A and B are shown apart, each in its own frame.
Chain A
């Protein structure tokens, strides 16, 4: 594997500083390759049937296409929609409810979730130690023999943390490399006016937890489960909208299949509740022209080079 095929975390112009600090876990070609191999290897699940990559598919910007909620070991359904994976190094917390506060520790959740990979961290480490190939790959990646959970988690973070998506048409427009059509431009203006207070550029999220009015009485308490505070009931992390055209279905429970349905929600379906974000009270009225402009704008957030980047693929060069 050549050095140039190993991604590094480069901070695109105008972006904030990343939250995950690679200084403690320097990306190397062997470390990244190990992380990628682990990501696509079902060895991390109890019965060897489910890999990270089973739910997080590159062509869907690492979301799970057509699955409302995650679908794991033994075909059992989880309760939340699989989000896309990109620009994770910038996220202060992970998951819809922010339950995971560190990128390195995130994989412990799916690995030990009975409806995802059904195993445990200890079990996975044990399997990797007894594997014919992995001990050597770990030694190569970390410079000395030894398979332990820290190395497993750091290798995975070298893969997940370098998944950067910053080369959409929108990005090239912002950099002045490409022009927007008048309709795309209208869509962007409208987006900045109505949506960007939460879905803030350039990451298209302000990383806050909000209730965007899906239910009058939320079934999933969301952020409140983690914070223990009533005012967080029904609040979820504001998701990034990058690659949004690829990551259907939408919302924490995957209730909407299309972006048209999402706009129907914002324009006419916002449900009042005590924790509804005040900026959405009464909804966001949109004329038919405004709707199509917004949809056309959201399409410019698709990053084709990210989803076709061979370095992130299961079968790479």
Chain B
């Protein structure tokens, strides 16, 4: 079970960040990594695989499997320039495969981040077109991980599998996959920091992101299991992709001293 920060702690963290926000700007390319932790929730409660939830329209749903790629992280500086998280053509560095069933996959680091003040974070839910169209990959992008379509070659960007009594599919299955190359269903997400984040030689930060699965159904599009039990083809998966981008919010950010980073992953 994840230990979530209460409201007071959140304010404390924010105050701490404010304090740091006046420090000098580092020039070194090195720097500390930024840690990102992801929790899957439904509203405010932690998502539990197999539990039943209700949508705004009154449909019931449960999740059995939730996996997706996050990539192309960027941090926005106070002066509107960007720090672009390095990715490498020879490895899957910078491409993260988040899996609800794998705790380790929900905590990762980007960077190293140059010292400076940052006002927000951007990332892609999915894999960029260039990488999606490149050849055989390794690591998190190894097609043998099963996040890969063979009938329409390319990565599965977002994979939600569960059940809904309203679904007309066999065993009331609910299958939402996005992927495919032609009109990319990768979606960009930008999250503004409530208070700027300061990265110094001695301190970095941990971003705790919440991905709220209720917004998969009650998002930019209202998805009804009765009319859309399956989304796999490019047209249907575009709506799921739009909604997948709306899942994320920053729950809190806290200070992460250099010493704390060393003991983490």
Binding site for B on A (CB under 8 A): 24-25, 99-106, 108-109, 112-113, 120-122, 125, 148-150, 152-154, 157, 225-228
Contacts and interface: CB of A to CB of B under 8 A. Distances in A.
Given A24-B135, A101-B153, A112-B150, 5 more contacts: A113-B150, A122-B146, A150-B137, A154-B135, A157-B135
Contacts of A101: 133, 153-154, 181
B234 A228 contact: yes
Contacts of A228: 182-183, 233-235
Interface residues of B, number: 24
B190 interface: no
A38 to B, nearest CB: 13
Contact of A122 (B137, B144, B154): B144
A128 B219 CA distance: 45
A105 B153 contact: yes
B8 interface: no
Nearest to A148: B138
Contact of A100 (B144, B146, B153): B153
B152 interface: yes
B183 A102 contact: no
Given A101-B154, A153-B135, A225 B233 contact: yes
A53 to B, nearest CB: 20
A149 B153 contact: no
B143 interface: yes
Nearest to B153: A100
**Chain B interface, >50% SS class:** loop
Interface string B231-249: 0011100000000000000
A227 B234 contact: yes
Contacts of A154: 135-136
The 9 A-B residue pairs with the shortest CB-CB distance, nearest first, are A228-B234, A104-B135, A153-B136, A122-B144, A109-B150, A121-B144, A150-B136, A149-B144, A104-B136
A216 to B, nearest CB: 24
Contacts of B145: 122
B148 interface: yes
B150 A108 contact: yes
Nearest to B134: A102
**Chain A interface, >50% SS class:** helix
Contacts of B229: none
Given A101-B133, A109-B151, A149 B182 contact: no
Interface string B127-165: 000000111111000111110101111100000000000
B135 A103 contact: yes
Contact of B143 (A108, A225, A226, A227): A108
A223 B143 CA distance: 23
Contacts of A108: 143, 148, 150, 153
Contacts of A105: 135-136, 143, 153
A150 B138 contact: yes
25 contacts: A24-B135, A99-B151, A99-B152, A101-B133, A102-B133, A102-B153, A103-B135, A105-B153, A108-B150, A109-B151, A120-B144, A121-B143, A121-B148, A122-B145, A125-B144, A148-B138, A149-B136, A149-B138, A149-B142, A150-B138, A225-B151, A225-B233, A226-B234, A228-B182, A228-B235
Nearest to B89: A24
A145 to B, nearest CB: 15
A225 B136 contact: no
Contacts of A112: 150
Contacts of B153: 99-102, 105-106, 108-109
A104 B138 CA distance: 13
Contacts of A150: 136-138, 142
Contacts of B137: 150
Nearest to A154: B136
Contacts of B146: 120, 122
Which of A24, A99, A152 has the largest count of B CB atoms less than 10 A from its CB?
A: A99
Which of B150, B154, B183 has the largest count of A CB atoms less than 10 A from its CB?
A: B150
Contacts of B181: 101
Which of B133, B143, B153, B181 has the largest count of A CB atoms less than 10 A from its CB?
A: B153
A122 B150 CA distance: 13
B233 to A, nearest CB: 6
Which of B148, B151, B154, B183 has the largest count of A CB atoms less than 10 A from its CB?
A: B151
Contacts of A157: 135-136
B234 A25 contact: no
Contacts of A227: 182, 234
B180 interface: yes
Which of B136, B137, B144, B182 has the largest count of A CB atoms less than 10 A from its CB?
A: B136
Contacts of A100: 153
Nearest to B233: A228
A306 to B, nearest CB: 25
A152 to B, nearest CB: 8
Nearest to B154: A101
A45 to B, nearest CB: 15
